[in-house]
Chain A
Amino acid sequence: MSLVHFQILSAALFSIGLYGVLARRSAVLILLSIELMLNAVNINLIAFSAYTESLASTGQVIAIFVITVAAAEVGLALAIIINLFRSKGSVDIDKIDVMRW
């Protein structure tokens, strides 16, 4: 296993997450896909800091921050999505079309 393998894993995971964001119609599943993208970043950071001597452990510190921020983000997004569900009775993003250009 080399650094490149981890980078490919991370890029693949990021792309799968992005596909999920674009393809899913439920706001909750889009949120899950975003989590996937953030976890891809974590893999990238930890692999870099584990395989490169000069980087010390900054990458792991950043990863911990990213996990924290991601948790906060999910909490906030779910609160807003619950609010949406209360007013619309659905979390389908195709149905939120009051405003269009």
Chain B
Amino acid sequence: MTNFWLFIPEFTITALAFGVIGADLFLARENKKYLPWISSIGLIVVLGIALNYLLGKQENLYGGLFLIDDFSMFFKVFFLILGLLVVLISSEYVKNHIKHPGEYYGILIFSILAMMLMAASGELLTAYISLELLSFCLYVLVASGRYGEKSTEAGVKYILLGAVASAFMLYGISQIYGLVGTTKFADMNLVLVAENSSALDLGLIMGIVFIIGGLAFKIAAVPFHMWAPDVYEGAPTPITAYLAVGSKAAAFALILRMMSSGFISIMEDWQMVIIVIAALTMTLGNLVALAQNNIKRLLAYSSIGHVGYLLMGVVAMTPLAFDGIMLHLVGYGVTNLACFMCIIMLYNSTGRDDVAGYAGLADRSPFLAMSMAVALFSLAGLPFFAGFTTKFYLFTAVANEGLIWLVGLAILNSLISLYYYLMVIKSMYIDPSEDTTVLVFSRYSLSVLGILVVFIFLVGVYPGPLVELIQEASQSLFSYIP
């Protein structure tokens, strides 16, 4: 008998999404401003329910299609909090720039559901369906910008390329299903261990490569990254933040689970592919970022660089490296949200999102300039900020596995990235501005930004409790391996 109580957070969040879309139908136009509050209170309730019913459970649903363990629990909580923060940073932007707030928040909540399912899936088909649910939500959100040639263009590029990538991934899944004989990660591992893995079937290798390709598209790793800058630039800015953090974290949750519990016994066969992708991704991402003059595009390339760092952890394949990946995802997530909050606030009041628009910001709004500087320093990985702690943890874990040259390359890339982050900071603090009016922001957006900046320092200075949670999560992931 399936214990449906294990599914209660997913049920409630689905109800919440329908509730928000339904409420949009009945609310009068002047009352639509309550939609973000309904969404955020609902998400807090779902978070409470998840913590109440599922904390510390290690079970599975539908014979292993969904796995409830500390790993999926960690990501569920992460995604719910992330969703809450994205709703908070969206609310002012949506008021000014989005025509249909109800659909916006409803679909955003559906995509949180999809990410939760992705982190919990223990089987290829489930993983594929939840990945597609996430992608569909994001296609709509990306194309939902109001004034936009750019938004539509980004949507078309994203959906056409995304559909090709998912066709590749699906072809890989069909190969694996046919040749291994199962789609469950745990059973796949058993079959692969039993077979003589030194003589792998060519079709099987093709299957794995295709799946890696499909997922590499989702995280925007290098040969499959071309969509990212365009989509990041064209999408509504809160959605850009969400794409950079959420869809990446969800794809990484799936990659970690699949690689560690499905393909770990044939690690030698796919390790080299990921090493090459990781090295290319971080180098190209950081080098091309040097030439950007739109801030959203610059952050798109910087996020490609960060994917390279995270992929190093996948190569290392140890519990410590997985801790590093999860920690870096959290640190990077908080930092990126703070960064995009600054971009949204500036865009709302001046309509600028090019780097030149940041000139003299320190005089026009010292707090905004300071927050942006903190976020950029954290992305570059300077001490006391979240970025340093998480990068340090991740790089150490990878270096422990003997991949010294790769870590060296990553550190070199961090130095390169410091250059283009400092260019923005120089523009804010040193360059004179043509317009010197003082910018005034609402108390609401200032306090959201303040909270995010506090989080950056918190993760950077006192990561202890977070690291403990993450260690439990990665232990539960490795407990499936016999």
Using a CB–CB cutoff of 8 Å, the interface residues on chain A facing chain B are 14, 17-18, 21, 27, 30-31, 34, 37-38, 40-41, 44-45, 47-48, 52, 54-55, 58-59, 61-62, 65-66, 69, 72-73, 76-77, 80-81, 83-84, 87-88, 93, 96, 98-101
Q: A80–B181 contact, CB under 8 A?
A: no
Contact of A98 among B132, B153, B175, B297 (CB under 8 A): B153
- Closest CB-CB distance, B70 to chain A, in whole Å? 29
B277 within 8 A of A: no
- B64 vs chain A, min Cβ distance (A): 13
Give B399 Cβ to nearest chain A Cβ, in Å. 32
Question: Are the C-beta atoms of A62 and B125 separated by less than 8 Å?
Answer: yes
In contact, B164 and A59 (Cβ under 8 angstroms): no
Q: Is the CB–CB distance between A34 and B164 below 8 Å?
A: yes
Report how far A40 CA is from B315 CA in the complex, Å. 32
Q: How far is the CB of B286 from chain A (nearest CB, A)?
A: 14
Residue of A30, A40, A83 near B155 (CB, 8 A) is: A83
CA distance A14 to B170 in the complex (A): 11
Whether the Cβ atoms of A58 and B177 lie closer than 8 Å is yes
Number of interface residues of B (CB under 8 A): 40
Residue of A nearest to B206 (CB): A11
**In the complex the two chains form, what is the Cα distance from A48 to B177 in whole Å?**
8
Bound form: Cα–Cα A85–B140 in Å: 16
Chain B residues close to A by CB (< 8 Å)? 125, 128-129, 132, 136, 139-140, 143, 148-150, 152-157, 159-160, 163-164, 166-168, 170-171, 173-175, 177-178, 181, 183, 226, 229-230, 233-234, 288, 297
In the bound complex, CA of A16 to CA of B136 (Å)? 25
Decide: B178 and A84 in contact? CB cutoff 8 A. Answer: no
- Which chain B residues border A41 with CB–CB below 8 Å? 167, 170-171, 173-174
List residues of chain B with CB within 8 A of the CB of A80.
139, 143, 152, 155-156, 159
CA distance A88 to B156 in the complex (A): 12
Known contacts A55-B178, A58-B183, A76-B140; A99/B155 CB under 8 A? no
**A72–B125 alpha-carbon span in the complex (Å):** 16
Q: Say yes or no: B136 contacts A72, CB within 8 Å.
A: yes
In the assembled complex, the Cα of A14 lies from the Cα of B210 at a distance in Å of 13
Q: Are A96's CB and B157's CB within 8 A?
A: yes
For residue A87, which residues in chain B have a CB less than 8 angstroms away from its CB? 148-149, 152
Partner of B181, one of A55, A72, A98, A100: A55
CB distance B156 to A93 under 8 Å? yes
- Knowing that A87-B152, A88-B149 touch, tell me 17 more A-B residue pairs with CB under 8 angstroms: A27-B156, A34-B164, A37-B168, A38-B167, A54-B181, A73-B159, A73-B163, A76-B159, A77-B139, A77-B163, A84-B155, A96-B153, A98-B150, A99-B154, A99-B229, A101-B226, A101-B229
CB pair B136–A73 under 8 Å, yes or no, is yes
Instruction: Indicate whether A30 sits within 8 Å of B160 (C-beta atoms), given known contacts A41-B170, A72-B136, A83-B143.
Output: yes
Minimum C-beta distance from A27 to chain B (A): 6
Of the candidates A37, A58, A69, the one whose C-beta lies within 8 Å of that of B164 is A37
CA–CA, A58 to B132, complex, Å?
Answer: 19
Q: Is the CB of A69 within 8 A of B152?
A: no
Inter-chain contacts of B173 with A (CB < 8 A)? 41, 62
When the two chains form their complex, are residues A34 and B149 in contact, meaning their CB atoms are under 8 A apart? Answer: no
In the bound assembly, the distance between CA atoms of A66 and B163 in angstroms comes to 12
The answer on a CB contact under 8 Å between A45 and B177 is yes
Q: Which residues of B contact A31 (CB under 8 A)?
A: 160, 163
CB distance from A88 to the nearest CB of B (A): 7
Kindly state the separation between the CA atoms of A37 and B150 in the bound complex, as whole angstroms: 28
Query: Chain B residue with minimal CB distance to A17?
Result: B167
Checking B140, B178, B234 against A48 with a beta-carbon cut-off of 8 angstroms, the contacting residue is B178
- A37–B128 Cα distance when bound, in Å, is 16
| Nearest-Cβ distance from residue B244 to partner chain A, whole angstroms | 17
Choice from A52, A65, A93, A99 contacting B234 with Cβ under 8 Å: A99
Give Cα A33–Cα B155 distance, bound, in whole angstroms: 18
Known A-B contacts A98-B149, A101-B229, A101-B288; the reply to A73 vs B177 at CB < 8 A is no
Write the chain B residue with the least CB distance to A11.
B171
Question: Whose C-beta in chain B lies nearest to the C-beta of A34?
Answer: B163
Q: Is the CB of B160 within 8 A of A77?
A: yes
- Docked-complex contact A27 and B160, CB < 8 angstroms: yes
Judging by beta carbons under 8 Å apart, are B140 and A65 in contact? no
With both beta carbons as reference points, the residue of chain A lying nearest to B153 in the complex is identified as A96
